[in-house]
């Protein structure tokens, strides 16, 4: 395609001035990086990127991730000028622009499609939420892994259904964050040749020059990771940039890092305080001077000159439309020749399950000795993986302990030589694992990752982003309590359950026995826009006799009455999750034998319980029954909302200790005797204050 240099520059200056004007009008934001990186992103989008603005969710599109999310105006300007169309949550194209000029004028304002940092599911064309530095590039690794996996699973001779690339723009902050190093190491190990990171080497952060804190030889570091590294010495050299992208395209055995040297807030060379340009509006006078340098009308605001939109339509737009239309024709032929694969492709891209996805799920038999939560989960996971071919995941070096290895025939290991394997080995990289799982989920792979619950702290930023983006990532956390025993306090989670429950949009599930594990997975697999943390025990848990106790399907309600007194209201309610449910059942049997009308409530998920109707919640926890005891081998934080002022919580108020499990349970009060004692004390206190109804049948 013949390019007119003046038209290239006109488009570049349009993007820059839109960024300047939007930040100035908002009196908030970062104009420097958008201005400096505009030539890079312009070259990528206009000359390289395979993306159709009319269909921004086309499965085989190239992905562009703005990891330097503070430069959001750069992306919003591109989405507007290229005419990217909006898509609703039902994957329907609406025809309207994703980002209007009015949205840009209302940058960072309530309701605008141009928030301070790019938000997935809020603005069509944004491939992932970016804000915390390093998360974007780490997420792009998951996207690249997913691209190679989908190519391995779906592609057939003559039908290259997946062959797209993933690009991510990073800054110095992304390179400093540890998560990017973990992710880059994994990407190099997996030889992800469909992945290209662009590093804006401008040597500026919020505090000032990077020399104060950062002196890495980034090129050498990435060569050591196994990446191909190339450099562009001037961010404004469009031909050198195009050559660098051509080098990436020609590299088939490793990911590529393009280091681009830039000057922050380029275009105003008279401005000396470059750090201010990075994190603050330029000011009206500075903007006029900069526009004068560009040959721009100094007082014009949000100007899009004639020819700019048309130029993008003739470049990116035409190229993307041609590629997508060819793909759609190919998919029609593919559906005729490979109907099952085509059905899988469609369902996967729409977050639907295949027919018969739960075939083979069966209840566990009653067993007093029982099975550990992690073992039950491992068995269920392998049944589901047989039915859902795009269920892919692994562990941060703990699969033998978390029981998350897929052992079904053909599962295999995902490696550089076998990109279609379904067992993904993350190595000891929890930070990166969380972000990679998000990338897999964004590409519609059904992703799971596992580790010990204590190490969820290492993954918290990515878990939070899963919830924020409404991604159905499956987090499997085992070794869920002081039941870890001899490993000691460093490995015994105390506050982790409470902190996960505090994340909006995240469901935590802590099943009480093997059959609750089955029902937990049944719930998890049907989620399309919700991440779940499945919290599992290391130690065996008795499998309850469901002919004597309530059906495990009550798990879907978050809490249910597991065991109850004879007809009528109970005197005392025992609440628990996970392994402590059996403790409450034991206490219930003793209290019942003593003539106390007790109820046991299994409460695997606070979040699901809160979604139930007030009538259901009151039926499980009658407001008139104030004598309540909650039992959980974790922080007591949050249980007060369920036990009320007259109840008590048996939980952890300190860190654990290194000792055999039974000794720890005795030391910290997790015994049937202590639960019974606490229940009777709560009852007696209620009787004294008149808050609990005395029972004529109660004895002792």
- Both 529 and 646 in one domain: the answer is no
Contacts of 511 (CB under 8 A, 6+ apart): 373, 517, 519, 520, 534, 535, 536, 555, 578, 604
- Structural domain boundaries, residue 132: 34-260+305-324
Could you give the C-alpha distances from 457 to 363, 497, 655, in angstroms and in order?
33, 11, 15
* Alpha-carbon dihedral 29, 31, 33, 39, rounded to 10 degrees: 140
CA distance 585 to 422: 39
**Edge-to-edge, what's the strand order for the sheet holding 256-261?**
63-66, 166-170, 195-201, 256-261, 228-232
What is the DSSP secondary structure assignment for residue 668, as one 8-state letter? Answer: H
Q: What contacts 24+ positions apart, CB below 8 Å, involve 682-685?
A: 682/572, 682/627, 682/628, 682/629, 682/646, 682/647, 682/648, 683/571, 683/572, 683/596, 683/627, 685/646
- The answer to whether the beta carbons of residues 432 and 186 sit under 8 Å apart is yes
- Both 470 and 599 in one domain: the answer is no
- Both 317 and 445 in one domain: the answer is no
DSSP 3-state of 105: helix
Domain-embedded: residue 189: yes
Domain-embedded: residue 159: yes
Q: DSSP strand E in 77-194: where?
A: 85-87, 93-97, 166-170
Helix (H) or strand (E) holding 49: none
- The answer to whether the beta carbons of residues 631 and 673 sit under 8 Å apart is no
- Both 123 and 247 in one domain: the answer is yes
Nearest to 500 by CA among 509, 491, 492: 509
- The answer to whether the beta carbons of residues 609 and 639 sit under 8 Å apart is no
Domain stop point among 290, 324, 358: 324
What are the residue ranges in the chain where pLDDT is below 50? 1, 265-277, 691-700
* CATH code for the domain of 674: 3.40.50.920
Domain stop point among 271, 291, 324: 324
Dihedral sign, Cα of residue 18, residue 19, residue 25, residue 26: positive
User: What pLDDT is recorded for position 690?
Assistant: 53
- Both 59 and 173 in one domain: the answer is yes
User: What pLDDT is recorded for position 204?
Assistant: 64
CA distance 46 to 282: 28
Instruction: Choose the catalytic residue: 177, 286, 430, 516.
Output: 430
- The answer to whether the beta carbons of residues 583 and 602 sit under 8 Å apart is no
Helix (H) or strand (E) holding 599: strand 598-602
CA distance 23 to 589: 66
Tokens standing for 56?
């921004």
- Both 496 and 372 in one domain: the answer is yes
Domain-embedded: residue 332: no
Angle of CA points 28, 29, 32, to nearest 5°: 135
Dihedral sign, Cα of residue 671, residue 675, residue 676, residue 678: positive
User: What pLDDT is recorded for position 103?
Assistant: 97
* CATH code for the domain of 191: 3.40.50.970
Domain-embedded: residue 74: yes
Domain-embedded: residue 650: yes
Domain-embedded: residue 5: no
If one counts the domains in the chain, the total is: 3
User: What pLDDT is recorded for position 275?
Assistant: 37
Burial (CB < 10 A; 0-12, 13-18, 19+), residue 265, is buried
Burial (CB < 10 A; 0-12, 13-18, 19+), residue 700, is exposed
- Both 609 and 635 in one domain: the answer is yes
CA distance 69 to 4: 30
Annotation marks residue 430 as catalytic: yes
Domain stop point among 542, 570, 602: 542
What is the tens place of the pLDDT at every residue in 281-296? 889 999 999 999 999 9
CA distance 231 to 257: 8
| Region label for 78, one of left (φ > 0), alpha (ψ between -120 and 50) or beta (otherwise) | alpha
- Both 502 and 578 in one domain: the answer is no
pTM of the full predicted structure? 0.94
Domain-embedded: residue 97: yes
- Helix, strand, coil fractions of the chain, as percent rounded to 5: 45, 15, 40
- Both 497 and 620 in one domain: the answer is no
CA distance 643 to 575: 8
Q: With helix as H, strand as E and coil as C, how does 16-48 read? A: HHHHHHHHHHHCCCCCHHHHHHHHHHHHHHHHH
- Both 580 and 520 in one domain: the answer is no
Q: Do the strands 560-563 and 598-602 form a parallel or antiparallel pair, or are they unpaired? A: antiparallel
- Both 532 and 661 in one domain: the answer is no
- Both 577 and 683 in one domain: the answer is yes
Contacts of 49 (CB under 8 A, 6+ apart): 62, 64, 167, 316, 320
Domain-embedded: residue 658: yes
CA distance 330 to 335: 9
């Amino acid at each position: 395609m013949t390019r007119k240099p003046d038209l290239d520059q006109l488009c570049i200056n349009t993007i820059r001035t839109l960024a300047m004007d939007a930040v100035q009008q908002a009196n908030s934001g970062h104009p420097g990086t958008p201005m400096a990186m505009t030539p890079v992103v312009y070259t990528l989008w206009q000359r390289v990127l395979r993306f159709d603005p009319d269909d921004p969710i086309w499965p085989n599109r190239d992905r562009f991730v703005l990891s330097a999310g503070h430069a959001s105006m750069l992306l919003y300007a591109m989405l507007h000028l290229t005419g990217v169309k909006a898509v609703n949550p039902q994957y329907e194209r609406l025809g309207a622009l994703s980002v209007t000029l009015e949205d840009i004028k209302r940058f960072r304002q309530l309701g605008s499609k141009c928030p301070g940092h790019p938000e997935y599911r809020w603005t069509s064309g944004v491939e992932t939420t970016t804000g915390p530095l390093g998360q974007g590039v780490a997420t792009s690794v998951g996207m690249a892994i997913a691209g190679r996996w989908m190519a391995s699973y779906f592609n057939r001779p003559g039908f290259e259904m997946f062959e797209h690339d993933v690009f991510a723009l990073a800054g110095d902050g992304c390179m400093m964050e540890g998560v990017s190093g973990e992710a880059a190491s994994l990407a190099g190990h997996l030889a992800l040749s469909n992945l290209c990171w662009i590093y804006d080497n401008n040597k500026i952060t919020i505090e000032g020059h990077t020399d104060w804190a950062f002196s890495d030889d980034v090129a050498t570091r990435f060569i050591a990771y196994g990446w191909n590294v190339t450099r562009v010495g001037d961010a404004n050299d469009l031909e050198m940039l195009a050559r660098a992208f051509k080098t990436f395209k020609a590299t088939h055995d490793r990911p590529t890092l393009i280091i681009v040297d830039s000057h922050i807030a380029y275009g105003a060379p008279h401005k000396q305080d470059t750090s201010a340009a990075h994190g603050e509006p330029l000011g009206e006078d500075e903007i006029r001077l900069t526009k004068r340098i560009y040959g721009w009308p100094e007082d014009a605001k949000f100007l899009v000159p004639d020819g700019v939109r048309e130029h993008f339509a003739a470049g990116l737009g035409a190229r993307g439309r041609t590629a997508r239309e060819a793909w759609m024709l190919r998919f029609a032929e593919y559906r005729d020749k490979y109907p099952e694969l085509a059905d899988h492709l469609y369902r996967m891209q729409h977050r639907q399950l295949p027919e018969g996805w739960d075939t083979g799920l069966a209840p566990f038999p009653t067993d007093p000795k029982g099975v550990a939560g992690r073992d039950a989960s491992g068995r269920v996971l392998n049944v589901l993986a047989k039915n859902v071919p795009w269920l892919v995941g692994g562990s941060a070096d703990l699969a033998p302990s978390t029981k998350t290895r897929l052992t079904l025939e053909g599962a295999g290991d995902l490696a550089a030589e076998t990109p279609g394997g379904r067992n993904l080995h993350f190595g000891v990289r929890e930070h990166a694992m969380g972000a990679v799982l998000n990338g897999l989920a964004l590409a519609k792979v059904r992703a799971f990752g596992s580790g010990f619950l204590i190490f969820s702290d290492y993954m918290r930023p990515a878990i939070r982003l899963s919830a924020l983006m409404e991604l159905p990532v499956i987090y499997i956390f085992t070794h869920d309590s002081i039941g870890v025993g001899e490993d000691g306090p460093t490995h015994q989670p105390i506050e982790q359950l409470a902190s996960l429950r505090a994340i909006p949009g995240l469901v935590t599930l802590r099943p009480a026995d093997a059959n609750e594990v089955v029902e937990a997975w049944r719930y998890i697999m049907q989620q399309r826009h919700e991440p779940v943390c499945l919290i599992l025990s290391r130690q065996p848990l008795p499998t309850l006799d469901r002919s004597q106790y309530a059906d495990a399907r009550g798990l879907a309600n978050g809490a249910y009455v597991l065991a109850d007194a004879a007809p009528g209201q109970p005197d005392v309610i025992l609440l628990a999750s996970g392994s402590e449910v059996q403790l409450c059942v034991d206490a219930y049997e003793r209290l019942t034998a003593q003539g106390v009308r007790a109820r046991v409530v299994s409460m695997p998920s606070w979040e699901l319980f809160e979604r139930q109707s007030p009538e259901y919640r009151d039926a499980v926890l009658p407001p008139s029954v104030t004598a309540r005891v909650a039992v959980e081998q974790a922080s007591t934080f949050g249980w007060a909302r369920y036990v009320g002022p007259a109840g008590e919580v048996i939980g952890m108020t300190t860190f654990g200790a290194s000792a055999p499990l039974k000794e720890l349970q005795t030391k910290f009060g997790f015994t049937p005797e202590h639960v019974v004692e606490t229940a009777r004390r709560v009852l007696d206190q209620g009787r004294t204050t008149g808050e609990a109804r005395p029972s004529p049948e109660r004895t002792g």
